[in-house]
Amino acid sequence: MAMVFSKVLTADDIENGLSIPGCSLGQLPDQEGLTMSMQVHDRNGQAWTFSCTIKRNDSVGHFLSVGWNKFVRERDLRVDDKVTIQEEAMKKQGSGTWIKVEVKRKIRLFGEDIWADV
């Protein structure tokens, strides 16, 4: 499994969509406003479709704005949760990849901070 992107969530990520810098994804098309869909699977294998738009910001350049409102609501995501997006080779069909999304929340247990699945 290869990690593509990892980030501690901000209020903007929760309320307005996840922002993924273009440098994390390789070469993004240079077409601001271009839309596409990202098919992902969560830790349970449930499929999700995130709508994505290429946007540009002077401070970070091109980035992918990921619309994932339903996922945020159903998983009760919060500021400071950690999201990781990974590519995983398909096991059943032997070719291609899955995009896997994982979310973890830091909790304090017996005086230790641990990251638990959300």
Per residue of the chain (118 residues), give pLDDT as tens. Answer: 677 889 999 999 999 999 988 777 766 677 788 898 888 999 888 999 999 999 988 887 888 899 999 999 999 999 999 999 988 755 555 556 678 999 999 998 899 999 999 8
> How far is Cα 51 from Cα 39, in angstroms, rounded to an integer?
9
Q: Are strands 61-67 and 47-57 parallel, antiparallel or unpaired?
A: antiparallel
Check residue 98 and give its pLDDT. Answer: 76
Check residue 84 and give its pLDDT. Answer: 94
Check residue 18 and give its pLDDT. Answer: 94
Check residue 23 and give its pLDDT. Answer: 77
> How far is Cα 115 from Cα 95, in angstroms, rounded to an integer?
31
Class of domain 2-117: mainly beta
Check residue 87 and give its pLDDT. Answer: 82
Check residue 46 and give its pLDDT. Answer: 92
C-beta neighbour count of 83 within 10 angstroms: 23
